[in-house]
Amino acid sequence: MNGAPTISTWYIDPDAEDAMADGHAPIWRHLIELVPERDLSGKAILDFGCNQGGFLRHLHAMRPFRKALGIDIAEQSIARANALKGNLPIQYQAGSRLPGWNEEFDLAFSHEVIYLVADIEEHAGDIWRALKPGGTYYAITGCHTDNPLWPSWRKLVAERTNTVVQDRSINDYAQVFAAAGFTVSARRLGFDGFIPYVPDGWMPNFADALDYYTRTKIVYRLVKP
Ligand SMILES: C[S@@+](CC[C@H](N)C(=O)[O-])C[C@H]1O[C@@H](n2cnc3c(N)ncnc32)[C@H](O)[C@@H]1O
């Protein structure tokens, strides 16, 4: 039950995690709007790979939930998540497995995490066990081998972060989660806001950024029947 070893922060430069959260915030809000589950007042939520915890803080502000767990292998990022959570009903915990969390959660999310998980079959099984029957896992990633930017991105992730990237296609994820028992569907993220021009190396050509947030990023909807 050990899973991946913990790290200090995901980005080697810890300050880059604040910038990541700022960049992801509009995407989180768009994602929350497109999820059909709207009344979360009685629900328990999991955010897998939560980093500094911003997604759950946004979710609670938009759709207040009963309780939530955020989990991440980055210990300092989890410490920051705990420092920022105030009185929200959220527990942040360092790790990559979910021991003791059985049929606990109504909804699970992971935003840009599954491409970093080495044993994706094990991860699918962990989420399956952690979800209640009828629960749903939204797993979002544009970091797949169908992304035309993937060859350059996988080098950037290797250079700038403390994790190892995995090369899997959109179809690979569908197969893995279906084999774990989930009813699998997916959609393109279809972000409809203005996309900022950020020349930081990830999007050398701005046209790629426009396609990335509309077409390339995939939202898997994985239902435990
Ligand atoms: C690209 S960041 C995304 C963070 C956050 N979900 C967001 O939307 O900003 C990927 C996160 O996944 C975490 N991560 C990577 N592999 C993991 C694993 N095996 N178990 C748990 N967390 C993991 C990293 O530490 C990092 O915080």
The 3-state secondary structure of the chain reads CCCCCCECCCECCCHHHHHHHHHHHHHHHHHHHHCCCCCCCCCEEEEECCCCCHHHHHHHHHCCCCEEEEEECEHHHHHHHHHHCCCCCEEEEECCCCCCCCCCEEEEEEECCHHHCCCHHHHHHHHHHHEEEEEEEEEEECCCCCCCCHHHHHHHHHHHECCCCCCCCHHHHHHHHHHCCCEEEEEECCCCCCCCCCCCCCCCCHHHHHHHHHHHCEEEEEECC
Host domain of residue 186: 15-223
Q: Which residues line ligand 1 (CB under 6 A)?
A: 4, 10, 20-21, 24, 49-51, 55, 72-74, 77, 96, 111-113, 116-117, 163
Kindly give the distance from the C-alpha atom of residue 182 to the centroid of ligand 1, in angstroms, as a whole number. 22
Residue 103 scores a pLDDT above 60:
yes
> 2 lies in a domain?
no
> 4 lies in a domain?
no
> 42 lies in a domain?
yes
Kindly give the distance from the C-alpha atom of residue 210 to the centroid of ligand 1, in angstroms, as a whole number. 23
What does the pLDDT read at residue 34?
96
- Where residue 152 falls among pLDDT bands split at 50, 70, 90? very high
Residue 2 scores a pLDDT above 80:
no
> 218 lies in a domain?
yes
Residue 1 scores a pLDDT above 70:
no
Which tens digits make up the pLDDT trace of 137-151? 999 999 999 999 999
Pocket-testing residue among 10, 13, 69, ligand 1, by greatest number of atoms within 8 A of Cβ: 10
Residue minimizing CA distance to atom 15 of ligand 1: 116
Residue 3 scores a pLDDT above 90:
no
- Where residue 92 falls among pLDDT bands split at 50, 70, 90? very high
The total number of structural domains in the chain stands at: 1
> 205 lies in a domain?
yes
Across the chain, mean pLDDT equals: 96
> 157 lies in a domain?
yes
What does the pLDDT read at residue 200?
83
> 9 lies in a domain?
no
CATH number, residue 39: 3.40.50.150
Which tens digits make up the pLDDT trace of 42-56? 999 999 999 999 999
- Where residue 163 falls among pLDDT bands split at 50, 70, 90? very high
Kindly give the distance from the C-alpha atom of residue 110 to the centroid of ligand 1, in angstroms, as a whole number. 8
What does the pLDDT read at residue 201?
86
